Structure 1
């Protein structure tokens, strides 16, 4: 009996050493090049700095008082769409339209946070909205001088919104959006 028990006991002791352990949670690690900024040359009444990673700017003329700029990031499959409008005593409706556009994302968004922006030296004031969740746009913003100029922008990806997948790229591009807001200068 001892001869049979000894091999069985040693078999149990040897087999207990390799317990299966759950894998630790992994995170996707994407590294993007360090942003290098240059002045964007656009035929509109303002200037700003853009990331050299983006493609050349495409300007779109919509109406007499509205113009658009597309800043395309083909490697990130994203575009920052900028819309410029003249202010003609309609600042309240422009602000309301920009805020309503952001609120349309509340259906899919987990959270929307906002940060005010103020550069009184350059007469640039605005708001940056950061949208968390599977919304169509991850960031939206506007800047204005309240009397002549109004610039709004939105970040969109060319993919089905999956927040976990686009999060690293969205964070990278939020820095570019902040840089655009910080460097807007109105041409007088």
Structure 2
């Protein structure tokens, strides 16, 4: 009987020591760890007045002639990321007024996202060697498009690009894919060559 009481007291002592430890803290919410393959770029030499590098991860690239002389739409689809990069090419007429209109339209298009965006970061892009000048926009928050840009040679060519996902904008959910495709948009912008 004495042995039983001793074992019971030891057990109660151990339970009280363990119970007196720090209060248990709940684990933080877990987030999906989404990882994508390293980007592998190749030249997209389409029947349009410019070339650019595209990620081989893109599932499909479509080209459509748009209204007007030498105006094109190029869609670069990423079906596994449920997103598309839309490119719009416009030929600049000899009137420099058209260039200013195109730039204003591109800037206004980006500024329309300020309703939902937390911030819009602008970054100037200049490449004198290839005659490519423009602006990159990183849009933060629940905006419809997280990345946009425009580039031009200031004489004949004007190209805009934007990223859209096939989902309701929820910045936290699409952030990994948006950051991955932001690099692709930058690669497109920085690799543009005019034909």
| TM-score with structure 2 setting the length | 0.88
> Alignment partner for residue 54 of structure 1, among 51, 54, 58?
58
| Distance in 2 between residues matched to 1:54 and 1:23, nearest whole Å | 37
Q: Runs of at least 4 residues of structure 1 off by over 2 A?
A: 9-14, 16-19, 24-28
Q: Give the structure 1 partner of residue 158 of structure 2.
A: 150
Offset at 1:62? 1.7
For this pair of structures, how many residues does the alignment match?
183
> Alignment partner for residue 118 of structure 1, among 108, 122, 126?
126
> Alignment partner for residue 105 of structure 1, among 104, 113, 119?
113
> Alignment partner for residue 104 of structure 2, among 96, 114, 126?
96
Q: Give the structure 1 partner of residue 49 of structure 2.
A: 45
Q: Give the structure 1 partner of residue 25 of structure 2.
A: 21
Aligned-CA RMSD value: 1.9
| Distance in 2 between residues matched to 1:38 and 1:14, nearest whole Å | 61
* Per-residue Cα deviation, 1:113-171 (whole angstroms, up to 9, x for no partner): 01010110000001000000000000110010011000001100000100001001000
Offset at 1:28? 3.1
Q: Give the structure 2 partner of residue 181 of structure 1.
A: 189
Q: Give the structure 2 partner of residue 171 of structure 1.
A: 179
Q: Give the structure 2 partner of residue 133 of structure 1.
A: 141
Is the Cα–Cα contact under 8 Å of residues 60 and 78 in structure 2 kept in the other structure?
no
Superposition pairs of residues 74-93 of structure 1, within 5 angstroms: 74-88=79-93, 89=95, 90-93=98-101
> Alignment partner for residue 68 of structure 2, among 64, 67, 89?
64
| Distance in 2 between residues matched to 1:154 and 1:84, nearest whole Å | 12
Q: Give the structure 2 partner of residue 35 of structure 1.
A: 39
Offset at 1:18? 6.3
| TM-score with structure 1 setting the length | 0.91
Consecutive unaligned residues of structure 1, counting only runs of 5 or more, are none
Is the Cα–Cα contact under 8 Å of residues 76 and 84 in structure 2 kept in the other structure?
yes
